[in-house]
A and B are shown apart, each in its own frame.
Chain A
């Protein structure tokens, strides 16, 4: 037998359920621009029917306890792993672009110009080996060359120490994110144990994991209680339910390296196990790429010092005599950082050796010619490249490294964009859709209200019959 007050319950439940749906629609609309937000939907189902004697009676609608969150775990994982590479290339791009501007070859005032000025000054001296003006010019060309080397070397190594500071900052960020993720783990499991979905906490946690993945490569999975477990550096736990392990940095061989502290607080070096993310980008730029530039710059400066000195002051088969007949090294130092013109020559340009024979002073220019010819001599790369070839290949490599980093960065940005689009397709809020839903739920709400009015009227009718 149908029950008239049951009708009121149906109306009431319908009102409450539609209102809740409007609530959730409102929440979706409000979060249309919230990054990481996944749209939610109230799933409705029929209430449990009542068996009454021989018939079954429906009892209207009810909302499921768990609010559905539109979400694609696969896209999220992919986004995280692509974000690691984005971070890596972004860091390398930033680091290398700083180096790129140091090699000022585009305007034609870089080391290449300094070198060719230096060799040219030797040729000038060969034209007039006794000339004081030529000697002074050669000295200033040589000083320009050494100061260009020194400056380049200082700037490149200060770029390396800037990276050290960045590594420290990133490690601090990783620790902060790990703490926040652990807190959210606790909140998610607290909510979900009661049978609800912790949609908002999960969104927040996913956003943090996404942020973390840009900093370093992580392995992440969810345990049965909804806790996100995060591993770093080849299987070392960073977050496990509500517990975190700290990362730290410490000096190792003059550079800051990354350490993971086990539960007893003993640090273990995980630098070689970091394979992606901004950390990897900075570390790779500092330890591999920029280090290689530095080595090659030092080798170039070292070879110039060695080759010039060997001709300028050869005590074996005495050669290279200053105007006063003395023999002196032209350069002192061993690499780009400390290359300098011999202070004795700075004090007296007559010590510059143009002559190869003490008996043929001052007109002999054989040493000046030999040194000037070093410019085109194949002295580098095992006798296959001139100084300039060697330097040009260094500059070319800097350029193509920056280019590679840029291309990879652009590629990763596009990848992320595509994946974000996929994610948005599933999780993003469409205002049009929400408006349609809003109208839909409003109509249902109005109709349910009407149902109650009519039931009320029906009851009135019944009561009036009784009267």
Chain B
């Protein structure tokens, strides 16, 4: 093979270009910390990375929704707990153990009823908790003329997305909760009336009804507790899943520093040896030896 001077120079140049290009690429991966710095570095990898990033942001969002749902359930639980305690007091009164204090106890029942009324009209973050979907409407109204309580909310539930295609629905229908098995306000109204009428049987008749109301509240609370557990489990699962996905994402798009540094070292060695040999080859020519 004839070797011309231009051929030698061109080849050396192209080898040096190739090696500096490789060095630059490795250097970029180390400096940016990313294995993929443009789409073409790894088109399949970037597709996976987008998918993982999307999953991570979804999981974050789901956990936010779960927190919001959890907060709501906690609020409902606190309210229903307070109502239950009040009704336990009412049950004590209805047991009619102190027949001589019936008038005083009737005042107490009025107090309990007012508190339950207030609790049933609770607001969370400006929204009525037990108004169904009509969260801007006070759900229970008292007709002062007749002393009757009426529900003006609707049967909506409070829904939250907690996962892809998964929802929890939290009961928000006040009439279901407070007027379902037995109307708590009617029972308390009757209890007051019977106490004032000094009617022993009438008073004790309210006891099983109060128990029914408490029973109803408890069953709602049990459903909520179950949902709360489910939310917590989902959140834990999401968190673990998020860690796993973050790990996968990092494996796809982050530079393996050890590997990159070794690559860099190898490329540098190759580059320097090319420079050294090139310097040796280019310099001498026959002219140096002709006198």
Contact = CB atoms under 8 A, between A and B. Distances in A.
Interface of A: 32-33, 39, 97, 100-101, 103, 105-106, 108, 112-113, 116-117, 119-120, 123-124, 126-128, 130-131, 355, 357, 359-366, 369, 372-373, 375-376, 388, 391-393, 395-400, 402-403, 406, 417, 420-421, 424-433, 435-436, 439
B5 A429 contact: yes
Interface string B30-56: 000010111111111011011101100
Contacts of B183: none
A132 to B, nearest CB: 10
B159 A433 contact: no
A400 B43 contact: yes
Contacts of A32: 4-6
A394 to B, nearest CB: 10
A363 B65 contact: no
Contact of B40 (A33, A361, A400, A433): A400
A273 to B, nearest CB: 30
A363 B50 contact: no
B50 to A, nearest CB: 5
Contacts of A103: 39
Most A CB within 10 A of own CB, among B38, B39, B44: B39
Contact of B46 (A33, A105, A360, A421): A105
A365 B159 contact: yes
A426 B2 contact: yes
A119 B158 CA distance: 19
B214 interface: no
Most A CB within 10 A of own CB, among B4, B5, B34, B158: B4
A300 to B, nearest CB: 14
Contact of B14 (A108, A113, A417): A417
A428 B4 contact: yes
A101 B38 CA distance: 7
A433 to B, nearest CB: 7
B1 A425 contact: yes
B286 A100 contact: no
Contacts of A131: 125
A427 B253 CA distance: 48
B227 to A, nearest CB: 15
A363 B127 contact: yes
B5 A363 contact: no
A112 B54 contact: yes
B145 interface: no
B290 A435 contact: yes
Contacts of A359: 154
A131 B125 CA distance: 9
Interface in B143-192: 154, 156, 158-161, 164-165, 167, 172
A220 B126 CA distance: 83
Contacts of A364: 133, 156
A397 B46 CA distance: 10
Contacts of B133: 355, 357, 360-364
B32 to A, nearest CB: 9
A429 B10 CA distance: 13
B285 interface: yes
B47 A392 contact: yes
A421 B9 CA distance: 11
Contact of B68 (A128, A431, A435): A128
Contacts of A431: 5, 285-287
A299 B142 CA distance: 56
A435 B287 contact: yes
B44 A396 contact: yes
B238 to A, nearest CB: 13
Contacts of B54: 112, 116, 388
